[in-house]
Amino acid sequence: MMKRLFGAAAAVLLLAGSLHAMQAGEIIRKSQSAFLSQGEDFKARVVMKLITKDGKERLREMTMLRKNYTGGEQKYFIYFFRPADVRDMTFMVHKYPGRDDDRWLFVPAINMVRRIAAKDKASSFVGSDFSYEDVSGRDPEEDAHELVREEALNGRDCYVVKSTPKAGDMDWSHKLTWVDKENFLPLKEEYFDRRGEPYRVFTADEVMNVDGFPTVTRRTMRNLRSGHRTEVAFIKTEYNVGIKDSLFSERFLRRPPKRWIE
């Protein structure tokens, strides 16, 4: 009798654990979609401030364009206006679910298009505290997800999900994500190093309704080790502007059409 009760209890616990895992994965997939895939396409003027521990600032200003495709594929195109040493630089991503993304960077100073290797996805994006992968998003299937708790953050009810890389090829051991229960936007992410110490924190500082889509229009990434942070503001943000497929090509990396970058 006791064996049967123990077996039944174990089965219930296993089922509950499995259900939690499914819920956590679904939460992260919905969060990625709400954060990075809304609308048919997207355009924004982006101002990025790189701020040192003692308050010194450097600016980056760019236009970001994104188009979504069936099956979860996406393409990104970014053009840099300033500072002068990066003006006319362009960055392009072809993002695929289930495999590594393709990334290219055109550097006008040497008139060269450079392919960014998949292993460099965690490298700094133009000297900021964001990585290349942060810009276009991480495939949710690369991590194992666990719903660890539910709690309020700045007055918003959130799921808190722990994500652990399956391949162990990242410089972080796991991260915690606070996902808004209502619109599924990520409001905060904490990245932990191999010793289990938090060292990088993302916060969504402003959420606005743009063309009917809740959108994170101000965000910050903080490096807790160096005290450096990067603040990003999305201005002139638009959805469903009719971006053409032809934009996402090496030809336009070198000569981006004014219509789309201004």
77-107 pLDDT tens trace:
999 999 998 899 999 999 998 888 899 999 9
Helices (H), the chain: 2-36, 132-136, 250-254, 258-261
Q: Read off the pTM.
A: 0.87
pLDDT at 5: 47
CA diameter of the chain: 78
pLDDT at 6: 47
Q: Is the pLDDT of residue 198 over 60?
A: yes
**Cα R_g (the chain), whole angstroms:** 20
pLDDT at 20: 56
Q: Give CA angle at 203 (192, 17), nearest 5°.
A: 55
Calculate mean pLDDT across residues 44-68: 97
pLDDT at 15: 44
Q: Which two tokens stand for residue 221?
A: 């990434």
